[in-house]
Amino acid sequence: MSVVEASSTYCSESGLQSAELVSSGRALDYSREREVVDFLTQMQTVHDTTGAQFPVLVGLMAANALEPLCEVPAFQDSTDHSAIASNILSSPVKEWQRPKIAGKVDEIAERYGQPGELMPNPVLLAAKDGSLTTRVVYTHSDGTQVLEASITPPADGSRPLLILDGQHRVVGMSQSAVPNNPLPFVILANQGTPVYSESTYAQIFAEVTTKSTQLEQLHDEWLKFAFRLDTYDMRGRTTDTPAVQAMKTVVHLCSWSPQVPKVNVFRNKIQFNPKKQAAAAIGGGFAFDATNLRKIVEKGYFANSTRATNLVPTDVAESLSEALIALSQVITTPLSRSVFFGDPGYKQLPAQYGLMHGLLEYLAVHGVPSAGWQPVFRDLKFDTSNWDFKSWVNQLDGNVGNRSRDVAALIFREFFAAGSLPRGVRDIPSYLRGDDARLLFEVREVGPGGRMRRSGTPHELVVGRLGYIADLSDTTKLLYKGCTSSIARVELRDRSAPFSNHYSVANVKRGAATPRPQGDSAELGAEVEFYGGVTQEFRIDLSWT
């Protein structure tokens, strides 16, 4: 006897009307007035590579009968960032599905109400624990079972089935011109020993999402964090990974509501809901989405190889909020015209990015400042510096913007780690513009086999002044050793041969041979780029002995 025949026989014997039997052999006995919903289904178990078995139930049910049984564990377009942040740290996580996509339900209802249209694609459901009970009616030789299933709504009044994939199909078909048409379904349900969990459902939801309606990146990011997937996979570890610690920091920063008089300037402002924009922490500054801020915190603190402190995520989060408040109180540049908190024409994201890295570096090296952040900022002369960069910055978009961001992060990390400005540096804005910028070269003798000797004659050239490198010969090489942290990019060229790359930075980094030119001298041109696309070009004279 086939599974279909067994189902047909059972329907006749149990009194179910033949009209309720669908072609796959599943039947429906549903009434909106009844608390318990009975139906026939087929079940098979699938197994993974370890042999673990997972029950899978398949069947059909009228769309307008299925819809009242289902709920979508989704956040809404209007859900606050802080609510999502709090939710993804709760156990279990309640709202991990995406919001309903506007217009998609109407589109499905209209399309599948037309002649010749049918919906063969099954929806993927999960039964809440304890809501689905089954009795085996027939077992086929291949292991497939026909079951009499009953769904009982949970005592808390919620709906018994979760929609993992197909929320628009369920609602759309139930509102179509043929709402009682059977809709194929697959139900994941624990039968006996629990094998499914909320984490399993979330992972399956993420994996079955199609490219046409794939998860928005931000939603995908915090969903993976909530269930420790991909980047946040613990891989058997008992302590949190740097990525997990960093996201916990961001979550706390967005959801933390301190008691008065304390203030959390980031509360409900870090973007977790992809349908709502991030908000600035103070004035026009420091608006982040959760993904980017997590990366900053991870790199700057929890994955910082030089970290000498062991702060927990809540301490890092609260200290960052306190630091921005202190900064707004220390700087004397009007906030609305500052790179940190300014209006659209004044605020600069690379500077804000750099400051965050500086704060995290301070926490990594020194810990939370015992006297608060104001003395830290004063030691670095934030109070006497001009933080209005509008008059001198040339460009902050494209590659220039990326280089400006990186050089700002490097400078702020360097100075905050030291806790004071280096000798010869007036203030950070001046240093960003190129004050006291230097290029470092070395002249090395070439030994047998053409190899450079390990040490040579150093040359430290101040950008903007005439550079002079002597001691060259046919048996030396010119080696570029680096530059001060304020320099974002360097280009070198031989002024007498502008199309030659012999003295390019790439070659000089490896060591460029120095064949004696006519006249025993040559001239290099050096173009140096600083924060904001500010450039200087100066001359380096080479001399052969």
For the chain, the domains span 3-226, 235-425, 438-544
Query: How many other C-beta atoms lie within 10 A of the C-beta of residue 309?
Result: 15
Crossing angle (nearest 10°) for helices 242-255 and 313-330: 50
Closest CA to 381 of 318, 331, 345, 347: 331
Closest CA to 382 of 345, 355, 414: 355
Q: Which residues, 6+ apart, have CB-to-CB distance to 305 below 8 Å? A: none
Q: Please report, for residues 256, 378, 395, 407, 432, the alpha-carbon distance to residue 428 in angstroms, rounded to integers and kept in the order given.
A: 32, 12, 19, 12, 6
524, β-bridge pairs: 494, 540
Closest CA to 314 of 261, 255, 375, 273: 255
Q: What is the maximum span of the chain, computed from C-alpha positions, in angstroms?
A: 110
What pTM value is reported for the model? 0.86
Unique residue bearing structure tokens 């929890």: 302
Report how far residue 65's alpha carbon sits from residue 70's, in angstroms, rounded to the nearest whole number: 10
3-state SS assignment for residue 186: strand
**Bond from prior residue into 313 cis (ω within 30 degrees of 0):** no
Report how far residue 152's alpha carbon sits from residue 34's, in angstroms, rounded to the nearest whole number: 10
Q: What is the Cα 86 distance to its own chain's centre?
A: 17
Q: Which residues, 6+ apart, have CB-to-CB distance to 388 below 8 Å? A: 333, 334, 337, 338, 339, 342, 346
* Ramachandran region, residue 25 (left: φ > 0; alpha: ψ -120 to 50; beta: rest): left
What is the bridge-based pairing of β-strands 521-529 and 476-483?
Answer: unpaired
Report how far residue 309's alpha carbon sits from residue 360's, in angstroms, rounded to the nearest whole number: 11
CATH number, span 438-544: 2.60.40
Straight-line distance from the first to the last Cα atom of the chain, in angstroms, rounded to the nearest whole number: 102
Residue 323: HSE in the Cβ half-sphere, 13 Å Cα cutoff: 26
Query: How many other C-beta atoms lie within 10 A of the C-beta of residue 344?
Result: 6
pLDDT tens series, the chain, 545 aa: 444 444 434 444 444 332 233 333 333 443 444 467 888 899 988 988 888 899 999 999 999 999 999 999 899 999 999 999 999 998 878 888 889 887 999 999 999 989 989 899 999 999 998 899 999 999 999 889 999 999 988 888 889 999 999 999 999 999 999 999 999 999 999 988 899 988 788 778 877 764 456 789 999 999 999 988 889 998 889 999 999 999 999 999 999 999 999 999 999 999 999 999 999 999 999 999 999 999 999 999 999 999 999 999 999 999 999 999 999 999 999 999 999 999 999 999 999 999 999 999 999 999 999 999 999 999 999 999 999 999 999 999 999 999 999 999 999 999 999 999 999 999 999 999 999 999 999 999 998 877 888 888 999 999 999 999 998 999 999 999 999 999 999 999 999 888 899 999 999 999 999 999 989 999 999 999 999 999 999 999 999 98
